[in-house]
Amino acid sequence: MDSSVTGAGAVSLILADSRFPGGGHVHSGGLEEAVERGLIRDSADLRPFLAGRLRAAGELAAVFAAAAAHAAARGVTPRHWAVLDGELDARTPSAAQREASRAQGRGTARAAKAAWPSPVLRELLAETPRPHHPVILGAITGLSGGRPVDAASAAAYLAVSGPASAAVRLLGLDPLAVNGIVANLSHALDAVAARGAAVAGHDPRDLPAPGAPALDLLAEAHVRHHKEEVRLFAS
Amino acid sequence: MKATAELEAEFDPATGRTVLRRLRSMAPLTLLPQRTAGDVALVHLVNSATAPLGGDELALHVRVGPGAHLRLSGVAATLALPGQRGGVSAMAVHAEVAADGRFEHLPEPTVVTARARHHALLTAELDTGASLRTREVLVLGRDGERPGDLTTAMHVTRGETAVLRQELTIGDALLDASPAYLAGRRVLGTEVLVGGDADTVAPASGQWWSLTPLPTGGGLATVLAEDAVTAERELAEAVRHAG
């Protein structure tokens, strides 16, 4: 479907907006734990964190958002959603990161039921009541006529925009400087989205599985500390 | 150099022990069976030549029969080295573990030396009730050396279910240094535990290690350390939490 005709590109703008009521604002994507450890103190430290996060967690999210958009557009059996969700599960070894992804997926699904009700969305949620965030984000994009690359782009952007705004809140960084860092990642964001879109139609078992060992460790430690002391963010 | 080694272990009901049904070394992959007192069959994998070198394509096929228990251990660190023509080296381990079989794959660390280009792949297909323990310790270069390029992929499945799929690329200096990726640490250790008691692990973590339950059972221990000795000690600590 040509999104310039349908206007479906706007859907990924809504999904990637920080004001979208999907619950994304309570997650820092490991940034809060990195700040607590003194690994990130200023804008100069933030840049490599975001670049690394994009290439690992962002890439994985982009791949599955694109695959879900492709699946929604071509039409799949309800079972396919469980397979896609399970394959993303197997690529997310950190239980804390799985929970963070599903919490945002649940929030997104709640908003989607009100905004974009459809039989396919109902099927997806019947198979996976707490879907992974990239899967539901991609499905909504695809159902609205958006392309896999639109979904991948939104997922990749969210992988860095949330932690970036968390850095502003936690460290009191200059919002203009932080925005500049995100803007500098534009080409990298486009490359990640393009790679995700390139494999969108593949068998879910064969999709890439980029890992991020440090993010996994930060996520697990964050959950442990969250239970012992006050933290601003859920992840 | 191209080489494929094969190893097949079977449970012998007459003696209650695991026997090696098939053991085929091919240079540079040498398989050396060891005497053990228990019912486990222990085999050492020795890289008999300087391997892997750029251009090498090495493969090891492992089959563990129903109820058999095989442990494959390394004896010395592996050095991934560049070849004369700068080609890529590859080492693939493929394991099939039948019902109630157990495969332990415990190689010594792999050191990714400067200018090496190496691909490591592990695929494990588990039957119902089968269990797996596999360890990987990657060292980014020798002392004071930048690492070459390494990709490592691990795919563990149980029947039709994906248990764990992970791919990593090492050797991009900016990525390696990112606090979101390897946090500038020189050694990455992982250990996967699937089946048996490991199917119900509880999460545990320290500053630079964690043990986390996998979504369909089993656990993954992860360590980032400054040296291999610390990595192995903290991996052991993480695995102890799996009971």
Going by pLDDT thresholds of 50, 70 and 90, the confidence category of residue A7 is low
Q: Is pLDDT of B140 > 50?
A: yes
All residues at 6 or more sequence positions from B206 whose CB lies less than 8 Å from its CB, including other chains? A221, B234, B237, B238
- pLDDT per residue over A31-76, tens digit each? 999 999 999 999 999 999 999 999 999 999 999 999 999 999 999 9
- Domain assignment present for residue A219? The answer is yes
Chain A residues inside the 8 Å CB shell of B161? 86
- Domain assignment present for residue A234? The answer is no
Q: With contact defined as beta carbons under 8 Å apart, do B181 and B171 qualify?
A: no
Yes or no, beta carbons of A52 and B180 under 8 Å apart: yes
Count Cβ atoms below 10 Å from residue B168 Cβ, excluding itself: 23
Q: What is the pLDDT of residue B243?
A: 75
- pLDDT per residue over B17-26, tens digit each? 999 999 999 9
- Domain assignment present for residue A233? The answer is no
Chain B residues inside the 8 Å CB shell of A53? 178, 180
Which among B210, B216, B222, B226 is the top mutation candidate for probing chain A, defined by the most A β-carbons within 10 Å of its own β-carbon? B210
pLDDT mean over B81-109: 93
This model of the complex carries an ipTM of 0.95
Window 184-223 of A: residues touching B by CB (8 A cutoff) are 205, 208-218, 220-221, 223
- Domain assignment present for residue A33? The answer is yes
Alpha-carbon span B19 to B40, nearest angstrom: 8
Which has more pLDDT, B86 or B132? Answer: B132
Edge-to-edge strand list for the sheet holding B17-24: B17-24, B2-12, B57-64, B89-97, B117-126, B149-158, B161-170
Q: What is the pLDDT of residue B150?
A: 96
Q: What is the pLDDT of residue A2?
A: 46
Domain count, chain A: 1
Chain A residues inside the 8 Å CB shell of B178? 48-49, 51-53, 55, 214
Yes or no, beta carbons of B181 and A220 under 8 Å apart: no
- Domain assignment present for residue A232? The answer is no
B35–chain A nearest CA distance, Å: 36
Which among B121, B181, B185 is the top mutation candidate for probing chain A, defined by the most A β-carbons within 10 Å of its own β-carbon? B181
pLDDT mean over A105-118: 95
Q: Looking at A11-20, A187-196, B57-66, which range is the least confident one? A: A11-20
Q: Does A232 touch chain B (CB under 8 A)?
A: no
Q: What is the pLDDT of residue A168?
A: 95
- Domain assignment present for residue A230? The answer is no
Yes or no, beta carbons of B179 and A210 under 8 Å apart: no
- Domain assignment present for residue A144? The answer is yes
- Domain assignment present for residue A80? The answer is yes
Nearest by CB to B215, from A57, A89, A215: name it. A89
Q: Which CATH number covers residue A69?
A: 1.10.4190.10
Nearest by CB to B167, from A87, A208, A214: name it. A208
Q: Is pLDDT of A214 > 90?
A: yes
Token pair, residue A71, equals 């699946």
Render chain A in DSSP notation, one character per residue.
--HHHH-THHHHHHHH-TTSSSSGGG--TTHHHHHHTTS--SHHHHHHHHHHHIIIIIHHHHHHHHHHHHHHHH---HHHHHHHHHHHHHT---HHHHHHHHHHHHHHHHHHHHHS--HHHHHHHHH-SS--HHHHHHHHHHHTT--HHHHHHHHHHHHHHHHHHHHHHHH---HHHHHHHHHHTHHHHHHHHHHHHHTTTS-GGGS--B--HHHHHHHHHHHHHHHHS--SS--
B171–chain A nearest CA distance, Å: 13
Largest CA distance in chain A: 52
- pLDDT per residue over B179-228, tens digit each? 999 999 999 999 999 998 889 999 999 999 999 999 999 999 999 999 99
Going by pLDDT thresholds of 50, 70 and 90, the confidence category of residue B229 is very high
Chain A residues inside the 8 Å CB shell of B213? 95
- Name the residue range of residue A174's domain: 3-225
Nearest by CB to A93, from B188, B205, B214: name it. B214
